[in-house]
Structure 1
Amino acid sequence: MYKAILFDLDGTLTDSGEGITKSVQYALEKVGKPEPDLQKLRIFVGPPLLEQFQEYAGIDEETARKAVEIYRERYAPVGIYENELYLGIPEMLSGLKQRGYKLAIASSKPENFVKIVAEYFHIDSYFDEMVGSEPEGRRTNKTEVIEETLKRLGFSEHRDQVIMVGDKEHDVFGARRAGLECIAVSYGYGTEEELKNAHPFKIVNSAEEILDFFA
């Protein structure tokens, strides 16, 4: 019997691709690794930025940290608002709260940005906790974020009562390493092949299907 549900943010609750990819493009240009095709940068939605910059651009950690700083120069004032809720998200969250579930956001995004986004879309009141990464790149690993979320919710010793909802394989793998099952949403930024290969507990296609799962 599940009592708590952890949600990823980007690609699960909000379609944040435009703001993230444009901010990544801005940063790559500044570090001498320009990428004109925004579609190629969709892989940056969700995973920790530092690792993604290193892997995608073939740059060292120091340059990647600089890229993250430059990314935030654009993302904080502009990119964070190039974003929209997926269809049915407020209704789904409201329904889950009415049924008595504890809800939390567990995101690799910096925690201050997580809270800004949730407040901007007026969904912050549905969540008992909103957890993200810390400054200077600490707690960006998905499992570490989940562990902190479980601690704050008081469910560290009751993992069988908690489930994760996310859109990428790193959500599924991060949850699994923390001892949780994960529901994957097909409408986010994970490909069909990626999600099937990750073997989530279930794949759903809409916010309505998330709510139905917990009926």
Structure 2
Amino acid sequence: MLKGLIFDVDETLVYYDGYDHREWYENWVMPALRKHNIELDYETYKKTVTGELPRSYVERFGIDYVEFWKLVDEVNLEYRRKMAEMGRIKPFPDVDALGELKEMGLKLAAVSNASQECTEFVLDLFGLRKYFDVVYGKDYSNLDGVKPNPYLVEKALKALGLKPEEAIVVGDSTHDVLAAHRAGMKAVNVTRFGKVEGADYYVSDLWELVGLIKELKGENKTQSP
């Protein structure tokens, strides 16, 4: 029986008006790295984020990789605070659907590749934190455990006390789908920015997700002896 949902945060629950990943890196992160005498071009950085290169790769630039990612995350938090001041972080208009899902008795988790502080910051910004039983950002003890690695999803499952077949991952990206499948779970792709390959279900928004979950829970009931 379906008992829980594990949500991605950025681009699933909230979005950043005018955000460009390369621009963010070159205008915000690179100046901070240069203060520490680190030169790391965008393409190489991107490969460490997508998992093409391990996050420890940056150690060849003479900095402890955990400290490197903490530095990047500090910059990211500063960026998010600035964007919030400018009104450029926005919740999708359907986030109220989280309340409906909660009322259905589901356990909810939020899991993000951003840091714990960055993740909690945007959830708190719009009063979304109250909907979630657990919230997990990247774990500095396992930096390569970010999605598409199943580590964070499995961590959330354990905290919710659920088995893989009792929860579904909800997200916007291929990384969310892969993390779900690698954890032995099904994935719902919210197609705000187009469909991604391999998801088990597709919904256009969170209200459509509510309908899907009601349908799935109904199917579970009819299948019960």
Give the TM interval when normalised to the shorter protein.
0.7 to 0.9
CA gap 1:175/1:68 in 2 versus in 1, 3 angstroms: same
Aligned to 1:205: 204
RMSD: 3.0
CA offsets 1:66-106 (integer angstroms, 9 cap, x no match): 874554343212325342111211x2101101111111102
Instruction: Assess if the C-alpha contact under 8 Å between 2:192 and 2:204 holds in 1.
Output: yes
Q: Report SS of the residue matched to 1:88.
A: coil
Q: CA deviation at 1:111?
A: 1.6
The one-letter code of the counterpart of 1:145 is L
Say which of 39, 57, 61 aligns to 2:58.
61
1:3 aligns with 2:8: no
Rounded to whole Å, the distance in 2 between the matches of 1:67 and 1:55 is 18
Q: CA deviation at 1:54?
A: 8.1
Aligned to 1:27: 29
Alignment coverage as a number of residue pairs: 193
Rounded to whole Å, the distance in 2 between the matches of 1:85 and 1:167 is 14
1:148 aligns with 2:166: no
1:179 aligns with 2:184: yes
The one-letter code of the counterpart of 2:93 is L
The one-letter code of the counterpart of 1:211 is V
Instruction: Assess if the C-alpha contact under 8 Å between 1:23 and 1:79 holds in 2.
Output: no
Rounded to whole Å, the distance in 1 between the matches of 2:5 and 2:165 is 11
Rounded to whole Å, the distance in 2 between the matches of 1:202 and 1:112 is 30
TM-score when scaled to structure 1?
0.76
Instruction: Assess if the C-alpha contact under 8 Å between 1:50 and 1:61 holds in 2.
Output: no
Give 5+ residue unaligned stretches, structure 2: 215-225
Rounded to whole Å, the distance in 2 between the matches of 1:136 and 1:20 is 28
The one-letter code of the counterpart of 2:187 is C
Rounded to whole Å, the distance in 1 between the matches of 2:168 and 2:122 is 22
Instruction: Assess if the C-alpha contact under 8 Å between 2:58 and 2:68 holds in 1.
Output: no
174-183 vs 71-80, which moves further: 71-80
CA gap 1:10/1:134 in 2 versus in 1, 3 angstroms: same
Aligned to 1:86: 92
Aligned to 1:13: 13
Instruction: Assess if the C-alpha contact under 8 Å between 1:103 and 1:126 holds in 2.
Output: yes
Percent of residue pairs bearing the same amino acid type = 22
TM-score when scaled to structure 2?
0.73
Rounded to whole Å, the distance in 2 between the matches of 1:154 and 1:32 is 43
Instruction: Assess if the C-alpha contact under 8 Å between 1:133 and 1:145 holds in 2.
Output: yes
Give 5+ residue unaligned stretches, structure 1: 36-40
Instruction: Assess if the C-alpha contact under 8 Å between 2:73 and 2:115 holds in 1.
Output: no
Rounded to whole Å, the distance in 2 between the matches of 1:163 and 1:75 is 28
Rounded to whole Å, the distance in 1 between the matches of 2:50 and 2:177 is 21
